[in-house]
Amino acid sequence: MNILVTGGAGFIGANFLNLLVPRHPEHRFINVDALTYAANPASLDPIADRPNYAFARVDITDADAVQALFAEHEPDCVVHFAAESHVDRSILGPRQFVRTNIEGTFNLLEAARTRWAPGDGLFHHVSTDEVYGSLGPTGLFTEDTRYDPSSPYSASKAASDHLVRAYHRTFRLPVKITNCSNNYGPLQFPEKLIPLMILNCLERKPLPIYGEGTNVRDWLYVTDHCEAIWAVVERGAVGRTYNIGGHNEVRNIDVVDRLCETVAELTGQDVDGLLALKTYVKDRPGHDHRYAIDASRIGEELGWTPKETFETGLRKTVQWYLDHSEWVDKVRSGEYRNWLDANYGDRG
- Which residues form the interface with ligand TYD (CB under 6 A)? 86-87, 182, 192-193, 196, 208-210, 215, 217, 252, 284
- Could you tell which of ligand NAD, ligand TYD, none binds residue 18, using a CB distance below 5 to 8 A set by kind? none
Return the amino acid letter for 22: P
119 Rama class: left (phi>0) / alpha (psi -120 to 50) / beta:
left
Provide the Cα torsion 343, 196, 152, 30; round to 10°.
130
Q: Tell which positions 91-150 bind ligand NAD, by CB under 6 A.
A: 100, 104, 126, 128
Nearest to ligand NAD of 60, 292 (CB atom): 60
From 29-37, 70-78, 207-215, 253-261, give the range in contact with ligand NAD by CB under 6 A.
29-37
- How many C-beta neighbours within 10 Å does residue 36 have? 18
- How many C-beta neighbours within 10 Å does residue 333 have? 12
- Residue 153 DSSP class: H
Under DSSP, is residue 310 helix (H, G, I), strand (E, B) or coil? helix
| Least distance in angstroms from the C-beta of 252 to ligand TYD | 5
Nearest to ligand NAD of 189, 230 (CB atom): 189
- Could you tell which of ligand TYD, ligand NAD, none binds residue 210, using a CB distance below 5 to 8 A set by kind? ligand TYD
| Least distance in angstroms from the C-beta of 336 to ligand NAD | 12
Nearest to ligand NAD of 28, 124 (CB atom): 124
From 79-87, 207-215, 297-305, 319-327, give the range in contact with ligand NAD by CB under 6 A.
79-87
Q: Which residues contact 204 (CB under 8 A, 6 or more apart)?
A: 273, 277
Under the binding rule (CB under 6 A), the answer on residue 30 touching ligand NAD is no
Is the distance from CB of 37 to CB of 7 less than 8 angstroms?
A: no
Q: Where are the beta strands (DSSP E) in 129-277?
A: 175-180, 183-184, 207-210, 216-218, 220-221, 241-244, 249-251
Residues 42 and 100: their CA atoms lie apart, in Å, by 23
- Could you tell which of ligand NAD, ligand TYD, none binds residue 252, using a CB distance below 5 to 8 A set by kind? ligand TYD
Residues 14 and 10: their CA atoms lie apart, in Å, by 6
Residues 206 and 161: their CA atoms lie apart, in Å, by 37
Active site residues: 129-130, 153
From 10-18, 285-293, 294-302, 320-328, give the range in contact with ligand NAD by CB under 6 A.
10-18
Under the binding rule (CB under 6 A), the answer on residue 38 touching ligand NAD is yes
Under DSSP, is residue 122 helix (H, G, I), strand (E, B) or coil? strand
Nearest to ligand NAD of 99, 280 (CB atom): 99
The residue count of the chain comes to 348
Residues 180 and 314: their CA atoms lie apart, in Å, by 18
Under the binding rule (CB under 6 A), the answer on residue 221 touching ligand NAD is no
Nearest to ligand NAD of 39, 259 (CB atom): 39
Nearest to ligand NAD of 17, 264 (CB atom): 17
Under the binding rule (CB under 6 A), the answer on residue 36 touching ligand NAD is yes
- Could you tell which of ligand TYD, ligand NAD, none binds residue 90, using a CB distance below 5 to 8 A set by kind? none
The dihedrals phi and psi of 38, each to the nearest 5 degrees, come to -80, -10
Is the distance from CB of 194 to CB of 207 less than 8 angstroms?
A: no
Binding footprint of ligand NAD on the chain (CB under 6 A):
7, 9-13, 33-36, 38-39, 59-61, 81-85, 100, 104, 126, 128, 157, 180, 182-183, 189
